[in-house]
Structure 1
Amino acid sequence: MLSSGKAGVVVVHADRPTQTQQAQATAPQPTNPQLTVPQQVAKFKQLLQQNNWVGTALMVRHGQVVYYQASGYANVAKKIKNTTRTQYLINSTQKSMTAAIVMKVIANGQLNMTDRLSQWYPKVPNAKNITIRQMLDMTTGLEGPTATTKKALPAAKEATYLSQHLIFNAAKSGKWDYQSINYNLLCGIIQKKTGHDYQWWYEHEFVKPLALRQTSFSYQQSLTKSPRLAVGYAGNPKTNAIEYRRTKATDFTAGKQTRELGSGNLYMSPLDLFRAEAAICTGRIVSTADVNQLRTPGSTSSYGGGVYNRPTGYTIANGIGYGFSDMFVISNDGQNGLVLLSNLWRPKGQDQMFFYHLSQMEAFHQW
């Protein structure tokens, strides 16, 4: 159990590999730790300040929370500040937990890695040649969706709708191509196979067993009324200055919320997110042997099971969308890591490069 120490170009969603994701396959060799934990905390805090950080940041060392602080506003109009209990849209970092749920269904004997997409969505192009394993690894050649509904749809209908609005790119079949549609369809498959939708599985595997108190699906709360949920903003497109702007890119409509099925419609606090990821790493969701199988990269990208896998025993994930940007990096034993969740997206990509820098420091012990 984690405990608190005393130290206190517009995109809508990340369906394309970012500079961060592309760079993670060619990382430098690890170096030895140079700083003590208090010095690491001080350095972390300094880096956050230099980056004009807005959001909530968490550092965990040896299973203990050594830094957990928030800055900026969760809701400018209502003058509500971000806190350690604020929930942020976690975007694509959700895929790690979705992959774990799929692996749980496989471990239960209800699915196999070699099962074909055509068993559930036969009209998807090339579905007879696409396996569950390929969907988890994002090597299917599927792209999309090409359309989004205006209204929210139940999970089963959403997955069916998305299956009808995608394309198959034969040139990318068998090659890594970051496309959320793979995880959207996996959610539809587990519902068709087990009779329970994605939210049921998430609540039974994560929320209830781990007592996650600061976690909710976007469609469970009013994005404009709940003080618990941060509002997404866009910063100044030309500078790194703190500026809270509502734009079309930050508009998380009802249709978009269900369109991000299993791939980016969860709100969490950093501590809840770390607890969930630590539970995966330590075998609380599925066995560590299953985790190792799930997270074995299926391509040269190092991507496997919703995360990027570092050779020094760390996993990394990041996401961006609707005014939010986020990342986590966690050791495979669940004892050390960072989580940064922000509700102020900088259009020039400052946050993504900042995340990459921090993930390098953490995963390669460069503190």
Structure 2
Amino acid sequence: MNNQTLLIVLFTTLLFSCTENKKSTQSTKQVPTNYQVKIDSLLEAYDKNNKFMGSIILSKNGKIVYKNAVGFSNIKLNQKAGIHTKYCIGSVTKSFTATLVFKAIEENKLKLNETIESYFPNIKNAKKITIAHLLQHRSGIPSYTKDKWFFENRTQYISPRKMVSKISAYESNFEPNSKGEYSNSNYFLLSLILEKVYNSSYNNLLQEKICIPLQLNNTYVGKEMNPNESYSYTYDDMWNEFPKTNLSTAKGTGAIVSTPKDLNTFFESLLSGTILSEENLQLMKDVKDRFGMGLFRYTINDRHGFGHRGRIDEFRATSIYFAREKLAFTLISNGATIDINGVYQEILKLYLNDTPIEISENDVKKFVGVYVSQNEPDEKTVFIQDKNVLINFIKNEFKEPLVYKGNNRFVLEQMYAESISFTFSADGKQMVFEQSGNTWKYTKE
């Protein structure tokens, strides 16, 4: 795959992936810093205009540096959201499930390369599908959440046997390990495998292996509504409660209830290497076709992190840990009328104080033109200009504005893939294309 094709694939991925409580709950003895004031103001504006309800926490070196909650957790009871409000976290559950699988591997209960026919003999290609394929969404098993049957029955209890029967009836989407395709079926099956090899419930394993050691006191598999749990809401002139999915249908793919604080603790512990061996953590982080094993890779303003996002009902959750910065971030929403991806990116930019570096229109002009690869003469990349913004024009189809980083370097920021860097010579006649440690040299026509 050449560089520009890679760029289009990654850009297309990006296209298709998104009163008292209004004030930061910092101690009254602390003077709010600049980023705290800015983030508070942003969230107050969202809350006032019915754009967002939920909770946010940032932790640096394990210590909370920002926390806030806006909106309601229970509108019927006029109950405001607080920093200890618990939310359904949807597919962020998958990171817990993957961690439990690797714990099982370390305890010689499972092997990555073992196939699943002994657990689910009726699933198509069961003799070819491995534990690793399930973890990395490379099994070819269709996602049951795309089945009309699921949405017609999601608010009811459905037994694991019934769920497996439904999943087993699906024809395979592709040959196992030939590509990656996100499927909730994979992690539902992994949770059942864990229950079988340990002869214990998924929730008991979650508590024993992760929550109790890390003191995650507000993290568990959801069932009945517990105190301080939030409902989720849609908005149509007013907030309306969304019918709750029965979490029996989610299990290890999306059944966990938690708080932002607990999620920050979990991801910081996992990604700093205190839960799993270094070898197994690296396996979780190795990305193929956009998927790690229970983790996504995030890039925000040249900063690289790992985590997961989730959605169930009208809940949206995102947790990311940036190892270099030792920064953990979690946002969970129980109602939003705006793109949650945009919300958390803006919050992170305010915290990180990533203000744009200015460049003049005249200086941008030097970098406008067609650049040809020195190794592959047929490969070209095009840059155009909009005032003082340099734009990468990809295959005459996609126009993506670049962020100026100084020293003639521009970056294409991508949320779920590595940033792409373009560094020009001072006269604009040479350019270096860089991504994931690989570099390619170009010359202007």
Same fold (TM over 0.5): yes
Q: Could you tell me whether the CA contact under 8 Å between 1:71 and 1:82 is conserved in 2? A: yes
SS in 1 for 2:98: helix
1:229 counterpart residue number: 229
Q: Shift in Å at residue 202 of structure 1?
A: 0.4
Q: Shift in Å at residue 284 of structure 1?
A: 2.9
Q: Shift in Å at residue 358 of structure 1?
A: 5.0
Report which of the two has the higher share of helix.
1
Percent sequence identity over aligned pairs:
20
Question: Given the superposition, is the C-alpha separation of residues 265 and 278 from structure 1 closer, same or farther in structure 2, using an over 3 Å criterion?
Answer: same
Q: C-alpha deviations, 1:171-191, integer Å up to 9, x for none? A: 786222111111111111122
Question: Given the superposition, is the C-alpha separation of residues 105 and 21 from structure 1 closer, same or farther in structure 2, using an over 3 Å criterion?
Answer: farther
Asked whether 1:210 is paired with 2:211, we answer: no
Q: Could you tell me whether the CA contact under 8 Å between 1:337 and 1:362 is conserved in 2? A: no
Q: Which protein shows a greater Rg?
A: 2
Uncovered stretches (5+) of structure 2, i.e. residues with no partner: 1-9, 18-31, 356-445
SS in 2 for 1:262: helix
Alpha-carbon distance in 2 for matches of 1:162, 1:93: 24
Say which of 319, 336, 343 aligns to 1:328.
Answer: 319
Asked whether 1:103 is paired with 2:91, we answer: no
Q: Shift in Å at residue 234 of structure 1?
A: 0.8
Could you state the TM-score of these two structures normalised by the residue count of structure 2?
0.65
Matched to 2:240, the amino acid is R
2:370 counterpart residue number: none
Alpha-carbon distance in 2 for matches of 1:277, 1:94: 12
Q: Shift in Å at residue 282 of structure 1?
A: 2.5
Q: Could you tell me whether the CA contact under 8 Å between 1:95 and 1:306 is conserved in 2? A: yes
Asked whether 1:351 is paired with 2:346, we answer: no
Asked whether 1:340 is paired with 2:353, we answer: no
For structure 1, which segment, 176-185 or 49-58, has the greater mean C-alpha deviation from structure 2 after superposition?
49-58
Alpha-carbon distance in 1 for matches of 2:11, 2:344: 8
Asked whether 1:190 is paired with 2:194, we answer: yes
Q: C-alpha deviations, 1:103-155, integer Å up to 9, x for none? A: 1111111211111122211110111111111111112211132344564356x
Matched to 1:252, the amino acid is K
Q: Shift in Å at residue 161 of structure 1?
A: 3.8
Q: How many residues align?
A: 319
Q: Could you tell me whether the CA contact under 8 Å between 1:61 and 1:336 is conserved in 2? A: yes
Could you state the TM-score of these two structures normalised by the residue count of structure 1?
0.77
Alpha-carbon distance in 1 for matches of 2:351, 2:99: 21
Alpha-carbon distance in 2 for matches of 1:291, 1:43: 35
2:263 counterpart residue number: 273
Alpha-carbon distance in 2 for matches of 1:151, 1:235: 24
Question: Given the superposition, is the C-alpha separation of residues 362 and 330 from structure 1 closer, same or farther in structure 2, using an over 3 Å criterion?
Answer: farther
Q: Could you tell me whether the CA contact under 8 Å between 2:123 and 2:169 is conserved in 1? A: no
SS in 1 for 2:264: helix
2:306 counterpart residue number: 315
2:157 counterpart residue number: 152
Matched to 2:248, the amino acid is T
Q: Could you tell me whether the CA contact under 8 Å between 1:61 and 1:337 is conserved in 2? A: yes
Question: Given the superposition, is the C-alpha separation of residues 362 and 112 from structure 1 closer, same or farther in structure 2, using an over 3 Å criterion?
Answer: farther
Q: Shift in Å at residue 306 of structure 1?
A: 1.9
Q: Shift in Å at residue 65 of structure 1?
A: 0.4
Asked whether 1:306 is paired with 2:294, we answer: yes
1:72 counterpart residue number: 71
Report which of the two has the higher share of strand.
2
Alpha-carbon distance in 2 for matches of 1:208, 1:77: 33
Q: Could you tell me whether the CA contact under 8 Å between 2:142 and 2:185 is conserved in 1? A: yes
Structure with the larger RCO, 1 or 2 (CA within 8 Å, 6+ apart)? 1
